[in-house]
A and B are shown apart, each in its own frame.
Chain A
Amino acid sequence: MQKGMHMPSWYKTYHPYVSPMDPCPPITTKRYSTPPNLYLGFQPPGLEQFTPSAALKAGTLWKYFYDPYYSTREMKKGVRE
């Protein structure tokens, strides 16, 4: 992340309509992914990097593009690095 750069959120939510006639308990919040590749255009020079070993694990050298996905089940269990 460069200084002064705005950091967007990689996930957004919306609330679908819930009908009084729905047969199943409603899911009131839906989440969707808006990954980093949507925001930057051509990658500018000088972005912050991971160390080589952290980059191999993350799947990217660039901190800006690191966007790990966790299921809601994992998030409830608190699975995060």
Chain B
Amino acid sequence: MWFYEKKLQYPVKVSTCNPMLAKFLIEQYGGADGELAAALRYLNQRYSIPDKVVGLLTDIGTEEFAHLEMIATMVYKLTKDATPEQMKAAGLGDHYANHDNALFYHDASGVPWTAAYIQAKGDPIADLYEDIAAEEKARATYQWLIDLSDDPDLNDGLRYLREREVIHSQRFREAVEILKEERDSKKIF
């Protein structure tokens, strides 16, 4: 069960009217390494993984939905007032033809989201290594988005999201450490 808090995990501010940034940001919405893929991947994997790390997958999977909501807010702010002409000029003419100004789960090139992006192998190490890779890829995507954007407030939010990927990767790496630990051996820091 989930509880919903009607606020964003981190405040989203966009200071420049530049709908083209929405075209790039949508990569983290419906792209292969985006927040939707992350959330669905982790929340699904948790059924077939040792008890010790189920809670971690629930926590991180849930947080990814909070990130998805932040990205959606960024995209929405950048496109809600865009005319068809502005959408076209921003490279979003093909998006407009199908969706008007609505959001949709596709990547920056318009490729629709697919479950083929994610995996549940049933092998805990294989799954956690995929999760670590997913976090590093999401981190890299945020770097390239920050490189593409010159909106200081938007970049502030993107930097926050990238930092969360760094932490998620750390926690998945710790999950691997927990699962590979030999019985009866003492933890040495």
Interface residues of A (CB under 8 A from B): 33, 35-37, 40-45, 56-60, 65-74, 79
Are B163 and A60 neighbours in the complex by a CB distance under 8 Å? Answer: yes
Number of interface residues of B (CB under 8 A): 27
Interface residues of B in 139-185 (CB under 8 A from A): 139-140, 142-143, 146-147, 149-150, 152, 155, 159-164, 166-167, 169-170, 173-174, 177-178
Decide: A35 near B147, CB < 8 A? Known: A58-B163, A59-B164, A60-B167: no
Give how many A-B residue pairs fall within 8 Å (CB-CB). 70
Q: In the complex, what residues of A have CB within 8 A of residue B150's CB? A: 73
Are A43 and B174 neighbours in the complex by a CB distance under 8 Å? Answer: yes
Are A35 and B169 neighbours in the complex by a CB distance under 8 Å? Answer: yes
Label chain B's interface by main secondary structure. Answer: helix
| A43–B169 alpha-carbon span in the complex (Å) | 12
What string of 1s and 0s marks CB contacts (under 8 Å) between B20-33 and chain A?
00000000000000
Interface residues of B (CB under 8 A from A): 10, 139-140, 142-143, 146-147, 149-150, 152, 155, 159-164, 166-167, 169-170, 173-174, 177-178, 187, 189
The 7 closest A-B pairs by CB, nearest first: A59-B163, A37-B170, A44-B189, A37-B169, A71-B147, A59-B160, A35-B166
| A44–B187 alpha-carbon span in the complex (Å) | 10
Are B146 and A70 neighbours in the complex by a CB distance under 8 Å? Answer: yes
| A72–B144 alpha-carbon span in the complex (Å) | 11
